[in-house]
Amino acid sequence: MTLGEAVAELSKIRAGRPRIMAEGNRVSSPKPHGLSAPSVLEQLPVELILEITDYLGPVDRTALALTCHAGLDKLGSDSLRLNANKRRELLMRLERDGFRKPDILCPVCGIFHSARLSLHTGWRLDDGLAQRPCCYDSEARYLYPSSRVVTPYLPRQFHFNTVAAVLRSHRHGWKDYPISVLSSNSEAKLDLIHGGVKMRTSVNAMIVDGRLLAKVEHIILPCSGLVGLRVAASRTSVYLKHNFPRDNCCNHWAWTDIFDRVFAPVPRLGPERRVHRFWDPRPLSELDLRGSLYNFCDVRGCGYCFTDYALGVQDLSDGAGRVLILTTWKDLGAGLSVDDAHWKSHLAQRKRDAVVVREPTELCAIYRAFEVSGPPWPSRANYYSPKLDDATMKAWLS
């Protein structure tokens, strides 16, 4: 067999390997007819194999040696010796090819282990979780400037290892880490400190084009009924500022900074003082949404990270109150590396250190990819009108 024929056979082998497509689904390709990888290597003379390896990098050479025992015998054990960076590159290649189901290659530990072992569930010395380097509490402030796998600006379940495990399961068609492990619902009632402000948070995720998109929605009830809205305005602003950073819009902007006209503290100047329409106790109408609130209900985007956001407002039925809906849509990347620009953009950082700068035409693209129903008014492509479940809201208010 000549060198050209050998290269042709190896090209067939490479073409027959499983591949990960752009949409994130793993597809199976037919194996080359006639010869498998081990039989090709067994037929080649040692001199020809050595000549082929001269054109391969260290990782490709090791992968060729691991193809079969015959290849390892001919190339020798020296072909398996890689430095730390090359070993990690080889392990990442094995991970993408479905090695060690359903574990992930932890970027902190440098080994394959279950993604569930990375979640912080308290200091439990009996099972060794406290010693695991990747087991972080994302609310620990000392992690803000350094951690690459957790961030206080995402819900706690969005550890990078969990994100990677969900996307890996999706690519290979496994059921070990379904997308549902990233969804959650929580409620907070702040009677003592913030005068009755309630908040309900829902987290949902979906995979689009092989990337994980997350939607975080905060529904805030400043007070019961509409009469006390003027007084509740300042309490709501104080609550949002004190709940930093978990409930921020993103790692670059706080809700109170983006919508400063809405959440500005209202001084006690009497009932005749003009307040923002959000805090006016008169019932909302469609005229308000098309008029004074026109510019507040459109989806916008952060220019320094892959986050789109929107502020919404709705009156509950029977005058039960008015809720503010703070929604963010985030693109967390493909889960292949902590150096993915989509993932890195959500880590703690200053605006001047941002890893991306989104073009104006890119803003709101995450929202449009997640929300398939479309806006209620076709003329306003970026208008978001959240739909609240009446049964859930009644149970929450009771």
Task: Find the range with the poorest average confidence among 9-13, 23-27, 213-217, 223-227.
Answer: 23-27
Cis omega (within 30 of 0) for bond into 245? yes
Residue 397 reports pLDDT greater than 50: yes
Q: Kind of pairing, strands 19-20 and 322-331?
A: unpaired
pLDDT in tens, 130-151: 557 787 665 554 444 567 888 8
Q: What's the rounded Cα separation, in Å, for the pair 175 and 233?
A: 46
Q: What does the block give as tokens for 312?
A: 């919404």
pLDDT per residue over 266-303, tens digit each?
554 444 445 678 888 888 877 776 666 766 778 899 98
**Length of the chain, in residues:** 398
Mean pLDDT confidence for 41-56: 76
Reported as a pLDDT band with limits 50, 70 and 90, residue 203 is very high
Q: Could you count the other beta carbons within 10 Å of the beta carbon of residue 379?
A: 6
- What is the overall mean pLDDT for the chain? 75
Q: How many whole angstroms separate alpha carbon 4 and alpha carbon 12?
A: 13
What global pTM score does this model have?
A: 0.78
Q: Is 16 a residue whose pLDDT tops 50?
A: no
CA neighbor of 345 nearest in space, from 208, 259, 253: 253
Place of tokens 């199976």: 28
> What pLDDT, on a 0 to 100 scale, did the predictor assign at position 211?
94
Q: Tokens in use for 46?
A: 């040692």
Q: How many CB atoms lie within 10 A of CB 372?
A: 8
For residue 273, CA distances in Å to 227, 230, 268 come to 15, 10, 9
